[in-house]
Amino acid sequence: MVGNPRRGRAGAVVRPPRPPYNRLHVPTLGAQEPAWELLISLRDPVTGYDHGAVASFSARAAGVRRVRFAPPPVGLAAYDRRSREILLDDALADEDPRALAAVLAHELRHAFEAAFSSARPQSCVDREVDAFEVSAQVWLAFWLGGELTERTSL
């Protein structure tokens, strides 16, 4: 929540208006938008698991402010706790949007765990395993039929 709640009439808590959430729920820039659109509309064709709802909820609950192409401290992508941004290396700009959606799901898992880490303490390795599991589930939901992209190095 942004700001402090104030008391309105009859003692009801009045909260400042939240930023408008469109279908993306997170401000995005250019090349990530197709990946976000794919991710938030993704439902596993076999299990029916709604990856899109989980991604949208995770972004809102963790307060992710932005996704942008900027050099992450290590690797190809990272979640920055201080700025609440997902940083993507420029090398990902030309990736298949489905592959980028899997990366975004991975980083959203880190964002969610960062926001609620006191409720679920884990080691660094455990957090990476969780995040890779999420990205693998997204990957499988896109390519379950065996039609793999030919243009991703991920």
First to last CA, the chain: 35
When the pLDDT of each residue in the chain is averaged and rounded to a whole number, the result is 77
Stated length of the chain = 154
> Which tokens sit at 50?
């709604």
pLDDT of residue 18: 39
Neighbours of 126 (CB within 10 A): 12
> Which tokens sit at 144?
């379950």
Average pLDDT over residues 87-107: 89
> Which tokens sit at 47?
């299990």
Report which of residues 19 and 89 the model is more confident about. 89
Q: How many whole angstroms separate alpha carbon 127 and alpha carbon 87?
A: 18
Q: How many whole angstroms separate alpha carbon 22 and alpha carbon 15?
A: 20
pLDDT of residue 97: 86
Q: What is the pLDDT of residues 35-77, one digit of tens each?
A: 888 888 888 888 888 888 888 888 888 888 888 888 898 899 9
- Nearest CA among 33, 32, 52 for reference residue 141: 52
Report which of residues 106 and 96 the model is more confident about. 106
At position 3, the amino acid (one-letter code) is G
Whether the pLDDT of residue 120 is over 60: the answer is no
Ordered by where they begin, the domains of the chain are 22-143 (3.30.2010)
Average pLDDT over residues 94-121: 85
pLDDT of residue 13: 47
Average pLDDT over residues 99-115: 91
pLDDT of residue 103: 93
Q: How many whole angstroms separate alpha carbon 43 and alpha carbon 47?
A: 8
Q: How many whole angstroms separate alpha carbon 75 and alpha carbon 1?
A: 31
Whether the pLDDT of residue 1 is over 80: the answer is no
Handedness of CA 53, 88, 102, 82 (dihedral sign): negative
